[in-house]
Amino acid sequence: MKELDFLKIISNTLENNKFLGDDCAFLKDFDIFVTQDTLVENVHFSMYTTTPYLLGRKSVSVNLSDLAAALSLPLYICVSISLPENIKDDFVKELYRGINDVCKEYNVIVIGGDITSSDKIVVSITAIGKRVCNFVTSRKNAKKDDYILVTGEFGSSGAGLYALSNFLYADKKIIEAHLNPVPRVKEALLLAKFVNSNIALMDASDGLVDALYKIAQNSKRTLKININDVPVNQSVIDFSNQNKLDYKHFIKWGAEDYELVLCVSEDIYLKLDKNLFTCIGRVQNKDNNPCVIIQDGASNETVNENVFEKYSFNHFKM
Amino acid sequence: MKELDFLKIISNTLENNKFLGDDCAFLKDFDIFVTQDTLVENVHFSMYTTTPYLLGRKSVSVNLSDLAAALSLPLYICVSISLPENIKDDFVKELYRGINDVCKEYNVIVIGGDITSSDKIVVSITAIGKRVCNFVTSRKNAKKDDYILVTGEFGSSGAGLYALSNFLYADKKIIEAHLNPVPRVKEALLLAKFVNSNIALMDASDGLVDALYKIAQNSKRTLKININDVPVNQSVIDFSNQNKLDYKHFIKWGAEDYELVLCVSEDIYLKLDKNLFTCIGRVQNKDNNPCVIIQDGASNETVNENVFEKYSFNHFKM
């Protein structure tokens, strides 16, 4: 778990580390949320499987997803790109056409950044959003009996990545889910209207169970879900069957679905549009060894630290 | 001039490009300045000549320098780092010790960021500063008869880089100027007190003449300076003499001095501490072919587009 080790070192080295931990920082003095995500060639994407246009789109979308998970309205982004010296003008044009299109869809403005040369393509985007909700989202806020909700479907992006990496035929839907994810900004802004206390909310950028486990750990409560309640696209099941793979593995551990994972009280759950939010389980009592329990028919799988370390997404393992 | 070509493409592709042009973006709705600078291994630095601690320091300092050039008070930074998989824990610790030390010196807080793997080391920092001055700085604001002022000394960083790149002995002062530049935050905050109109101000991150030329072009006025009035450290002269180099080339074109270059009216100039700000020339009349004239004794050198393209710093040429 090199990534977590490094985060520990960073947290110990910085004298003021009160902002570290969640994906977005909230700056009280300006009422803004700030997040920064970097995509590195051959780590987060490969130019053999994506296009400059889609890379531009995804670079923005993953940052807007972080702002959505903070129930914040995205407004501005800074774009820093590093490109090989021999890159074509058209690459830059297409990359920025993708950036522009997502910005237009969400009324976001590019306010600056820089462009430098490097061996590999690196896109680092900082996004700034406005506070539109009086309550805070955090991994820490899951409460007993909360409903565990998710937006969209799970497993598509993981299956898409598997198909692309192994040169397998797959339905367009799951390829697109991986290359052009939709940040759940609309859902987050709807949710913000109904929230009446601090809630647990994350995006599932590193996978569904990863998000659930982090909420469980930080809230010190076990989260129990039913895997068969998690929405999944039929094309993920078909793709898995065709290739003798377990589609439930994609649902649980496939990264980059960029869906929202949240724990809210019953009264909020009842107000939400069931077409946008699906209940997949409930939050349990306080627990000294918080974990994720995944119910599948009559059997229960327990995700504790060992299971988590084995399967969770880690950029330093790729 | 690939970098400028790319900036043109970006500006043409983005439908809302009103923020592009200066190094910092000012967000009126939140009263903040935002800037982002990325340092890439073997482009902006080499681990053969710097240390993780100094890299951490410089990564923060170059961003604080951009905020200083906007007369803004630095408050927060987001740090995104990409590191090779086999990097040692101590590297991360030393890098963050450098980041922490500069943050402490300027009361800046690290609010987040991310850590990913990559072949080469990349440090991308976004800095956020508060507006403390009612007036705007921009490359566009040089006015006739303005005094052209600079902070600190020029040529040290360029000479330091030359020494390091060519394995030449050099005084510690010029090596430090390159590896551990001081952002002129203190000078900027002093200046902010006296500014009574929008002024032309940049940091000389890409070199003195580069800054002067950009101000000239954007303000549509020729800037005339006397090269012998530009402060230079004796160690730059000594180093150049020892190695049969022209020290004035380092002053003019050496990048990364991170000093402030500004054009202000006489009444502001008279109020400023002459130990911190040195006058090196005056702004001329409106000009259809704005350029930089460098007076050296009886001779004048004219820096027009051709000369500029030949000598100016360009990350895509390295």
DSSP label of A227: G
B264 in Cβ contact with B199 (< 8 Å): yes
- B41 DSSP assignment: B
Nearest to A116 among B79, B119, B315 (CB): B315
Rounded-to-integer distance, Cα A60 and Cα B310, Å: 36
Please give the C-alpha separations between residue B94 and each of A7, B59, B100, B300, in angstroms, as whole numbers.
14, 13, 10, 47
Q: Cα A63 to chain center, whole Å?
A: 9
C-alpha span between B174 and B222 (Å, rounded): 31
- B35/B55 same-domain check: yes
pLDDT tens-digit map of A110-132: 998 889 999 899 999 999 999 99
CA distance A137 to A278: 19
Please name the amino acid found at residue A29: D
d(CA A16, CA A13): 9
What span, in angstroms and rounded, lies between the C-alpha atoms of A26 and A34? 7
- Which residues in chain B land under pLDDT 50? 317-318
Q: Which pLDDT score is estimated for A317?
A: 41
Q: Please give the residue range of the domain that contains residue B176.
A: 137-311
Are B127 and B145 in the same domain? Answer: no
Residues A163-168, mean pLDDT to the nearest whole number: 95
- For A204-239, how does the pLDDT look when each residue is reduced to its tens digit (9 = 90+)? 999 999 999 999 999 999 999 999 999 999 999 999
> Is residue A318 assigned to a domain?
no
CA distance B237 to chain A (A): 31
- Give A65-116 pLDDT, tens digit per residue: 999 999 999 999 999 999 998 999 999 999 999 999 999 999 999 998 889 9
Question: Can you tell me the ipTM of this complex?
Answer: 0.88
- Spatial contact of B69 and B23, defined as CB atoms under 8 Å apart: yes
A188 falls within a domain: yes
CB pairs under 8 A between A and B: 206
* % of chain B exceeding 70 in pLDDT: 98
Rounded-to-integer distance, Cα A188 and Cα A48, Å: 33
Residue B306 lies in a domain: yes
**pLDDT at res. A318:** 32
A56 and A143 within one domain:
no
Give the residue from B131, B157, B178 where a domain finishes. B131
CATH number (domain holding residue B101): 3.30.1330.10
pLDDT at res. A311: 84
Domain-located, residue A195: yes
| B8 interfaces chain A, CB cutoff of 8 Å | no
* One domain, residues A260 and A222: yes
Q: How many domains does chain B have?
A: 2
Q: State whether A158 and A102 are in the same domain.
A: no
CATH of the domain at B146: 3.90.650.10
Q: How far apart are CA A58 and CA A38, in angstroms?
A: 11
Q: Does residue A101 sit at the B interface (CB-CB below 8 Å)?
A: no
| Residue A114 covered by a domain | yes
Binary contact (A78, B115; C-beta < 8 A): no
Q: Which of residues 39-58 of A touch B (CB under 8 A)?
A: 40, 42-44
Picking from A111, A93, A258, the residue whose alpha carbon sits closest to that of residue A182 is: A258
Specify if A240 maps to a domain.
yes
Partners of A80 on chain B (C-beta within 8 Å) are 36-38, 124
Nearest to B89 among A9, A103, A119 (CB): A9
Q: Helix count (H) and strand count (E) of chain A?
A: 11, 13
3-class DSSP assignment, residue B157 = helix
Looking at the domain assignment, is residue B318 inside a domain? no
Is residue B125 helix, strand or coil? strand
Q: What is the mean pLDDT of residues A139-147?
A: 95
At residue B142, the pLDDT reads: 96
In the listed set B131, B156, B183, which residue is the last one of a domain according to the structure?
Answer: B131
Residue B255 has φ and ψ, to the nearest 5°, of: -90, 175
In contact, B126 and B85? CB cutoff 8 Å: no
CB contact under 8 A, B104 and A27: no
Q: How confident is the model at residue A136 (pLDDT cuts 50, 70, 90)?
A: confident
Kindly state whether residues B74 and B223 are assigned to the same domain.
Answer: no
Same domain as B141, residue B117: no
C-beta atoms of B120 and A115 within 8 A: no
Chain A CB within 8 Å of residue B109 CB: yes
| Together in a domain, B191 and B276 | yes
Residues A60 and A20 reside in one and the same domain: yes
Decide which of A86, A110, A131 is a domain's last residue.
A131
Supply angle C-alpha A133, A135, A138, rounded to 5: 115
Chain B CB within 8 Å of residue A96 CB: yes
Looking at the fold, whether B112 and B163 belong to one and the same domain comes out as: no
Fill in the amino acid letter for B91: F
Residues B218 and B81 in one domain: no
Is residue A189 pLDDT above 70, yes or no?
yes
The mean pLDDT of chain A is 93
Chain mean position to CA B243: 26
Alpha-carbon gap: A42 to the closest alpha carbon of chain B (Å): 8
In whole angstroms, what is the distance from residue B26 CA to residue B239 CA? Answer: 41
- Kindly state whether residues B62 and B204 are assigned to the same domain: no
**Bridge pairing between strands B109-117 and B72-83:** parallel
The CB-based long-range contact list for A7-10 (8 Å cut-off, 24+ gap) reads: A7/B115, A9/B89, A9/B92, A9/B93, A9/B96, A10/B92, A10/B96, A10/B115
pLDDT number for residue A19: 82
- Closest to B154 (Cα-Cα) out of B243, B223, B240, B249: B249
B7 within some domain: no
Contacts of A213 (CB under 8 A, 6+ apart): A223, A291, A292, A303, A308, A312
Q: Are A204 and A210 in contact (CB under 8 A)?
A: yes
Do B236 and B174 contact (CB within 8 A), yes or no? yes
Q: How confident is the model at residue A313 (pLDDT cuts 50, 70, 90)?
A: low
Q: Out of A18, A96, A119, name the one closest to residue B120 (CB).
A: A119
Cα–chain-centroid distance for residue A234? 21
Residues within 8 A of B (CB atoms), A 178-217 only: none
Note the pLDDT of residue A238.
97
Q: Could you tell me whether strands A72-83 and A122-131 are parallel, antiparallel, or unpaired per DSSP bridges? A: antiparallel
